Amino acid sequence: HEAQWPWAFPTAVPKTQMKTAAAAKPAAQPASKMQMQTTSAGALGKSISDRARQTVRKVLNGGKASVARAALESLTSVAEELEKLATYRGMQQELGNFFKANELEILRQSISKIEKDEKTFSSYRKTIESAKAFPAMLRAAITSAENAGLPKEEIKQYKNELSATEYSPIKTQRDQKFASYRKHVNEAKLLKKSEQMKHAIEEAQEGGLPGKEIEAFTQDWLETMFNELHTATLYVKVETERLSPVWNEIRDAQKSKDIKKLKAATQKMKENGLVGQELEDLQNNLKARENNDKLKKYIHEIKEKQDLNRWADELPEAINKAEKAGVSADVIAEARKDLAKRVKKYGKTLTPGFPAEAGHKSHKKKSHKKKSSEKSSE
């Protein structure tokens, strides 16, 4: 259901534009399932991130303290789910552009200031509202509020209202224009489309709709944004929960180095549209295991030399042969590590086929007996 899900967020292109564009450009080749899933995930993450940042800016630029606290809680969850989405889909590059928790720090620090400003400006707003029937009193109240630091946007709205009360012919025209602005905002609100609602509010604000109405509409817009973000975040959460067992299977396959498991994991990644470094690593691991299977005689030879304790010349030679044949680097590294341990423990040479520890003990005993016989003969 397209309307329910976040990928329906971007404003739809009119059908006439779509036809014109289709006539101008050759038909594109259909994208693969994996490309479509990756593009969809990236577009989803970008759409959510843009709206999250837009919400932060709006709350900082005149939102209420209660809205700021709700935004902080909601957007923290959004940032966590976006990070999971990027991780599970292997989109490390896109993660750099996604909305992150540290972007909320300025909002967290601003809540106390917003609360303080609300208390400070509340009395000025009440004075202005009570003076609206009297232009001279209204002008004085607006000036006092402006000097006290009331936001410029609100002052502008109040001045527009003052002008409307002072010039009645203009007031009739303004009332008609304001009615049109309200209609556009309310239509967008009924459709639950935050982007359309935002543009309608901006148009109304620019046209001079009273600040109190703009503030009320802005709170409605923020609520619509939160609902959209909540829906999008739920989708991301469902997606990450769905992918979690898939990733467990993939990581188990990587550890086991079993060809069948690696093949199954690779297929599963492709089916789920998972791309990036993880898929590349998995495919490289699978190729290495399959190659080792073809070259198992060389690996067997290394093992044989290890079992017979023949490392003076034969084990290094077997390792070199395996490396030249193309046995995977991890197997070669492990064999050389084993050789280094043997050399460190027993020395660089050893009688071929003679057990190491027994050979050394036997040699020591013979040497001891020889010295004893020489001593007795003396």
- Band (pLDDT 50/70/90 cuts) for residue 6 is very low
| Structural domain includes residue 95 | yes
Task: Quote the pLDDT of residue 29.
Answer: 45
Distance in angstroms (rounded) separating the CA atoms of residues 285 and 291: 10
pLDDT (0 to 100) of residue 94: 66
Average pLDDT over residues 167-191: 79
Q: What per-residue confidence (pLDDT) applies to 282?
A: 64
Residue 18 belongs to some domain of the structure = no
**Mean pLDDT across 151-174:** 76
48 in the same domain as 162: yes
| Domain presence at residue 45 | yes
Same domain assignment for residues 92 and 233:
yes
CB atoms within 10 A of CB 123: 12
Residue 157 structural domain: 37-240
Domains in the chain, number = 2
**pLDDT for residue 252 is more than 60:** yes
Considering the chain, what percentage of its residues have pLDDT values greater than 90? 1
For residue 311, pLDDT over 70 is answered with no
Average of per-residue pLDDT across 102-116? 83
219, part of any domain? yes
Concatenating the DSSP letter of every residue in 268-305 gives HHHHTT--SHHHHHHHHHHHHHHHHHHTHHHHHHHHHH
CB atoms within 10 A of CB 165: 15
In this prediction, residue 34 has a pLDDT band, given cuts at 50, 70 and 90, of: very low
Tell whether 250 is covered by a domain: no
pLDDT of residue 352: 46
Kindly state whether residue 257 falls inside one of the protein's structural domains.
no
Give helix 168-191 / helix 211-256 axis angle, nearest 10°. 20
Tokens of 73: 């809680």
> Do 132 and 213 belong together in one domain?
yes
Residue 19, in any domain of the structure: no
Greatest extent of the chain over all pairs of C-alpha atoms, in Å: 139
**pLDDT tens digit sequence for 344-355:** 776 665 544 444
pTM listed for this prediction: 0.37
| 205 plus 311 within the same structural domain | no
307 and 184 in one domain? no
Answer whether residue 306 is part of any domain: yes
Task: Fill in the DSSP letter of residue 98.
Answer: S
Mean pLDDT along residues 215-229: 85
Residues 233 and 312 in one domain: no
pLDDT recorded at residue 167: 62
* Tens of pLDDT, residues 359-369: 444 444 444 44
